[in-house]
Amino acid sequence: MRTRPVLVYDGDCSFCTSSVIFAERRIRPRCEISPWQFADLESLGTTQERAVHEVLWITPTGSIHGGAQAVAKLLLSAGKGWSVLGALLTLPPFRWLAHGVYRLVADNRERLPGGTPACALPPDRRPQPPANPARTER
């Protein structure tokens, strides 16, 4: 059984990946982080359809929070000033506003900085990376 929450995001989306990297470096949430493409979604109690639709916060007990509420849980887990922001995002009217902003961002992520046209495609139509990409050392 897991002892830490898991944040599941779209690893094919550059905007999502950039957001996760920012969260890891600046917010420092207390959770495991995994792209849905590499997560065992069935054992986490969710589906690919849901993971494609929104970021997910899955607690060790199996509760699933999606979208803006997943972001709120991530912020709450970080403590310090971040937890105040996370708490606000769970309360009306901030919760409703956060949901609207989240959907606007998620539905237009390919147009945002770091986003790519692949973000707008369904998973089965996204370009696949080469099986063994050549690595160059600097």
Distance CA 19, CA 128 (A): 21
Domain positions in the chain are 6-119
Interhelix angle 68-78/80-88, rounded to 10 degrees, is 150
- In tens, the pLDDT along 26-84 reads 999 999 999 999 999 999 999 999 999 999 999 999 999 999 999 999 999 999 999 99
What pTM, to 2 d.p., does this model score? 0.83
pLDDT at 136: 36
pLDDT at 134: 43
pLDDT at 122: 63
- In tens, the pLDDT along 78-132 reads 999 999 999 999 999 999 999 999 999 999 888 877 655 556 556 666 555 444 4
pLDDT at 70: 98
pLDDT at 34: 97
Distance CA 137, CA 43 (A): 37
Q: Which uninterrupted H or E stretch holds 44?
A: helix 41-44
pLDDT at 62: 96
pLDDT at 113: 74
pLDDT at 127: 52
Structure tokens at 40: 């065992």
pLDDT at 109: 84
Cα 81-84-88 angle, rounded to 5 deg: 150
